[in-house]
Amino acid sequence: MMAEEAVSVPVAATARRRWQLPHDWRGQTAMGIALIFGAAIMLLPFLWMVATSLSRKANVSMPRTPSFWPPDPSFFNYFVATANLPIVRLYLNSLIVVGVTTTGYLFFSAIAGYAFAKGRFPGKSILFIVFLATLFIPFETRMIPLYLFMGHLKLTNTYWALILPFLAGGFGTFLMRQTISTIPDELIEAARIDGASEFRIFIQIILPLCKPTLATLAILNVIWRWNDVLWPLLVTSKRDLFTVTQGLALAGRSSGIYTGVALATAVMAILPVIVAYLFLQRYVIRSVVSSGVKG
Amino acid sequence: MAPGPIPSLTGSGATPSRFGRAFRNAITWYSFLLPPLLLILIFVGYPTLLTFRQSLFTETVDGDVFAGTYHFQRLLTNAVFWGAIGNTVLLGVAFLVIIIPLATVFASMLNRIRRGATPLKVIYFLPQLTSSVAVAIMFHYVFQPDWGLLNGGLRGLGVDHLPLWLSDPRYNLTGSRAAVTLLAVWAGLGYFIIVLLAGLQSIPTDLYDAAAIDGASPVQSWYYITLPSLRPTFIFLIMTGTIDALSRFGDLWTLGGPGGSPARSLQSIVMFMFQAGFESSDFSLSAASAVVFFLIVLAVTAVAFWGFLRREFKAIR
């Protein structure tokens, strides 16, 4: 923001002296070229992937010079990929898992955050430390016993295995507590005097006031859960329960020699996320930066 | 529920009813906390304790037998484990050494450019939204030695001896480790740029005005004002980048399997854990490596927290 204001002055100056280039046009041009070159390096693999996925020949032989336009454009590889992998089912699985975990994670984070921000009860700080301690335990540390535990509960190869471990967490609780602490007590006190129960205050007053933080948490959780591959690989081995990312990982390893088909699968797996990102990019970038946590 | 101070009506019953209300209130708060607390205890606390227990016991047909530090001795004399630690550290350090200067230069340019910063940011950030698995599959073909995007481009530039990239397990600048480092830099650059850009925009502009009045060149003010002001951002990125690098799994697993082919050159700590547990069914060895992994991450987090984040949290409050 500040930087934009700072540079708006020379722009106004150039508008007055219409036929002169801005004094720093050399620097601006050089930076523009460098930045566009960098952006091209970011985009080229994506474009090459899409072009290759549309080429039937790519499964047999690839041109020795990379081509960004398929010589024989067709959706053949997409049909093969869909036949190999129940892709619609995979999308449905991912949507169910991501939807339920995100809803649960937001709800439990918010309600625990409310209790820690506004509640008065014995043992509050100890309980808060218990919640925060989970931040310091990487998932990888507990994945093996968790996997065996899921086996004991007969939950492997069910949606429960993909959902239950991710419903509550210290990070969301901490973020929600920080947000709810900034809500003035008077607002809650007024509702209490009107006879509202704590739960009703939570639903009708607290949640609507936390929408920006809830949106941040939702975006982060969707990115994490959609892209997670380690845990689904462990607890689900039936094709009908695969998530999109997991299906892609397994298909990529088994159909690796069929370049076109493998890349068509990859395009199908990432396209929805990228389309959603292009619509929500401002919120997505802000969420990832403000929380300092990446996917 | 009427507020407390109406003694004329409640009379001597005021004290027990206030106590009763506090008690009822506490019950309400506990009922709010109970479901998430149970979930955390069952799915985070309990398995973590089991990891520690598993690392100290051996599974036999007669049940678990206490093994003391046996599994840790096995782990720490295991060349494959040290190889995995070496790979993880080497890949992590190479990644940070390349990405931080690169992202700083790009973020500085994005901060100064007058047009097109927003679309450029969106493009740089794009790989961050793509799962590490999809990125790995894409780069498996980008690094293909005969017709891959990279070698095809190098051939177009007239390079004769094209590198083997992912098929070459040696320690060199065109081998498998170099390839996955390029992949990680490509995938992570957008995140590093965006975080650094946020840091750059929080530097007060009057510092630059004062430097300009004193006759500092743009390069001088970048070196003497911008870089020192970004110090907290650098520390933050190094800490989070270290933890991410330590738990690297998805892309390497997709490219090299649990063993990190070729020749275990891509096996990370988490992949060792995965392979020991789920391919060799040696859960105790796997648990021991999980404990070592936990201690390393805890050490990094502790340094981050005490050295830096504590100050940040205070600033928030």
pLDDT digits (tens, 9 = 90+) for A165-215: 999 989 899 999 999 999 999 999 999 899 889 899 999 999 999 998 899
Average pLDDT, chain B: 87
Tell me the three state secondary structure of residue B65: strand
Q: Averaged over B83-93, what is the pLDDT? A: 95
Rounded percentage of chain B residues whose pLDDT exceeds 70: 91
Count CB atoms within 10 A of the CB of residue B65.
10
Tokens of A138: 């990487």
Tell me the three state secondary structure of residue A240: helix
Test A42 with B186 for CB contact under 8 angstroms. Answer: yes
Which of B27, B71, B111, B130 is most worth mutating to test chain A (most A CB atoms within 10 A of its CB)?
A: B130
Task: Give the number of A-B residue pairs with CB atoms closer than 8 Å.
Answer: 293
Give the total residue count for chain B.
Answer: 317
Grade residue B1 by pLDDT with cuts at 50, 70 and 90: very low
A44 touches B: beta carbon within 8 Å: yes
Question: Searching chain A, which residue's CA lies closest to the CA of residue B43?
Answer: A165
**What does B169-209 look like in DSSP terms, one character per residue?**
-SSSTTSHHHHHHHHHHHHHHHHHHHHHHHHHHTS-HHHHH
- Dist. CA A207–CA A201, nearest whole Å: 9
pTM, rounded to two decimals: 0.86
* Structure confidence at residue B2 (pLDDT): 45
- Dist. CA B72–CA B280, nearest whole Å: 17
Test B136 with A131 for CB contact under 8 angstroms. Answer: no
* Structure confidence at residue A7 (pLDDT): 45
Which of A176, A285, A290 is most worth mutating to test chain B (most B CB atoms within 10 A of its CB)?
A: A285
Summarize pLDDT for B278-304 with one digit per residue, the tens: 889 999 999 999 999 999 998 988 887
Q: Which residues contact A6 (CB under 8 A, 6 or more apart)?
A: B205, B208
Count CB atoms within 10 A of the CB of residue B35.
16
Whole-number Cα distances in Å, A214 to A158, A221, A283, B100, B194? 28, 10, 12, 31, 21
Region label for A168, one of left (φ > 0), alpha (ψ between -120 and 50) or beta (otherwise)? beta
Test A49 with B244 for CB contact under 8 angstroms. Answer: no
Whole-number Cα distances in Å, A246 to A142, A151, B246? 20, 20, 22
Tokens of A21: 């280039």
Tokens of B274: 């995965």
CA of B110 to nearest chain A CA: how many angstroms apart?
Answer: 8
The residue that leads in pLDDT, A289 or B311, is A289
Q: Considering only CB atoms, which chain B residues are within 8 Å of A199?
A: 28, 32
Summarize pLDDT for B31-74 with one digit per residue, the tens: 999 999 999 999 999 999 999 999 999 988 888 889 999 999 99
Q: Averaged over B204-209, what is the pLDDT? A: 89
Summarize pLDDT for B158-203 with one digit per residue, the tens: 888 899 999 899 998 999 999 999 999 999 999 899 989 988 988 8
Q: Which helix (H) or strand (E) holds A282?
A: helix A259-291
Tokens of A149: 């535990």
Highest mean pLDDT out of A138-147, A244-253, B76-85, B256-265: B76-85
Q: Which of B301, B309, B248, B274 is nearest to A147 (CA)?
A: B274
∠ CA B272-B276-B278, rounded to 5°: 110
**B60 phi, psi to nearest 5 deg:** -130, 175
∠ CA B220-A29-B196, rounded to 5°: 55
- Dist. CA A163–CA B64, nearest whole Å: 30
Task: State the virtual CA torsion across B111, B115, B121, B123 in degrees, nearest 10.
Answer: -150
Nearest to B250 among A28, A164, A230 (CB): A230
Q: Considering only CB atoms, which chain B residues are within 8 Å of A1?
A: 201
Test A294 with B39 for CB contact under 8 angstroms. Answer: no
Grade residue B9 by pLDDT with cuts at 50, 70 and 90: very low
Spatial contact of A148 and A221, defined as CB atoms under 8 Å apart: no
* Structure confidence at residue A224 (pLDDT): 86
Grade residue B135 by pLDDT with cuts at 50, 70 and 90: very high
Tokens of A20: 């002169």
Tell me the three state secondary structure of residue A66: coil
Which of A100, A142, A166 is most worth mutating to test chain B (most B CB atoms within 10 A of its CB)?
A: A142
Which residues face A229 on adjacent strands? none
Regions of chain A where pLDDT drops below 70 = 1-19, 254-256, 291-295
Spatial contact of B198 and B121, defined as CB atoms under 8 Å apart: no
A54 touches B: beta carbon within 8 Å: no
- Dist. CA A234–CA B68, nearest whole Å: 28
Tokens of B179: 């390839």
- Dist. CA B7–CA B23, nearest whole Å: 20
Test A193 with B111 for CB contact under 8 angstroms. Answer: no
Give the total residue count for chain A.
Answer: 295
Test A274 with B129 for CB contact under 8 angstroms. Answer: yes
The residue that leads in pLDDT, B271 or B232, is B271
Assembly ipTM: 0.85
Spatial contact of A101 and A166, defined as CB atoms under 8 Å apart: yes
A221 touches B: beta carbon within 8 Å: no
Q: Which of B70, B133, B81 is nearest to B273 (CA)?
A: B81
DSSP state of A167: S
Tokens of A11: 């722009």
- How many DSSP H helices and E strands does chain A contain? 15, 0
The alpha carbon of A36 is separated from its chain's Cα centroid by a whole number of angstroms, namely: 26
Largest Cα span, chain B: 99
Spatial contact of A162 and A231, defined as CB atoms under 8 Å apart: yes
Spatial contact of A132 and A124, defined as CB atoms under 8 Å apart: no
Test B124 with A62 for CB contact under 8 angstroms. Answer: no
Handedness of CA A276, B137, B93, B277 (dihedral sign): positive
A280 touches B: beta carbon within 8 Å: no
Test A64 with B147 for CB contact under 8 angstroms. Answer: yes
- Dist. CA B209–CA A2, nearest whole Å: 13
Test A288 with B40 for CB contact under 8 angstroms. Answer: no
Tell me the three state secondary structure of residue B35: helix
Handedness of CA A62, A68, A71, A77 (dihedral sign): positive
Helices of type H across chain B: 7-10, 14-40, 46-56, 70-76, 79-112, 117-129, 132-142, 149-156, 176-201, 205-213, 218-221, 227-229, 231-246, 250-256, 269-278, 283-304, 310-316
**A41 phi, psi to nearest 5 deg:** -65, -35
Q: Which of B233, B146, B148 is nearest to B196 (CA)?
A: B233
Test A274 with B43 for CB contact under 8 angstroms. Answer: no
Whole-number Cα distances in Å, B305 to A54, B27, B100, B296, B308? 49, 34, 21, 14, 6
Q: Which of B132, B128, B87 is nearest to B270 (CA)?
A: B87
* Structure confidence at residue B21 (pLDDT): 76
Range of weakest confidence among A164-173, B5-14, B88-97: B5-14
Q: Which residues contact A48 (CB under 8 A, 6 or more apart)?
A: A66, A68, B142, B149
Q: Considering only CB atoms, which chain B residues are within 8 Å of A273?
A: 129-131
